[in-house]
Amino acid sequence: MASRPSDDDERLLRELGSALRGGAAVQERITTIGEGAFAWYGVDDELEFASLIHDSLLNEELTVRGELHRTVMFACSSVTVQVERSAGLVVGQVVPAVEGDICVLLAGGDSSWIRTDELGCFSLPEVPAEAFRLRWRTATADVVTDWIRL
């Protein structure tokens, strides 16, 4: 025999329904995108992972004449990399400096290479239009950064 629902249960159910409907407009696409993201699973098993440790966007409001300036920093035990975006320009520096090639991996699967100078500085030809990560080789390890969307 079905028990009679309490008022509290009714209220909770209504609240849940309202919460579930709140994100309904975007939920299907979010789910599809989420399923696709697993294609990146395990790709970087052997790599040293550099986590996002600073993002100026979350701490400061550096808007100059309507332009966005943003600095992000990734770090792992052996290396840090700072990336700055100012308007349409993206520059960065790897510390300790590594002169060589850095791979820019785009979430959609494309990749390109950029060159660092003797100070470990580099620039991207354009602001990536999707999430990306950087990957490069130091003297001791292959390093990959967290995903970032500038």
Partner 1 sequence: MVETSTVTALVAAAGEGDAGAWKALVERYAPLVGSVIVRHRLYGADAEDVAQTVWLRLVEHLRDLREPRALPMWLITISRNECVRVLKAGRRLRPVDPTTENDMYLGEVAEPDQALLDGERNQALLAAFAELSDRHRELLLLLTADPPFSYSEISRRLGVPVGSIGPTRARALRHLRECLEQANGERKGGPGGIATLR
* Positions that interact with partner 1 (CB under 8 A): 1-5, 9, 12-27, 29-31, 33-35, 37-38, 40-42, 44, 49, 51-55, 57-59, 61, 63, 65-68, 87, 107, 130-131, 146-149
Closest CA to 84 of 68, 108, 96: 68
| 8 Å CB contact between 16 and 9 | no
At closest approach, how far in Å is the CB of 101 from partner 1?
22
> Least distance to partner 1 from the beta carbon of 75, Å?
10
CB of 115 to partner 1, least distance (A): 26
**How many other C-beta atoms are found inside a 10 Å radius of the C-beta of residue 31?**
10
Query: Considering beta carbons, is residue 49 or 113 the nearer one to partner 1?
Result: 49
Contact 135, 47 (CB under 8 A): yes
Nearer Cβ to partner 1 (46/65): 65
Q: Between residues 60 and 117, which has the closer beta carbon with respect to partner 1? A: 60
Name the residue nearer to partner 1 (CB basis): 77 or 125.
77
Q: What is the dihedral of CA 32, 38, 39, 42, to 10 degrees?
A: 180
CA pair distance 135, 111, nearest whole angstrom:
10
Q: How far is the CB of 117 from partner 1 (least distance, A)?
A: 28
Distance of CA 105 to the CA centre of its chain: 11
* Residue whose CB is less far from partner 1, 53 or 119: 53
Q: Least CB distance from residue 132 to partner 1, whole Å?
A: 10
Residue from 134, 70, 71, 73 nearest 100 by CA: 134
Helical (H) or strand (E) element with 61: none
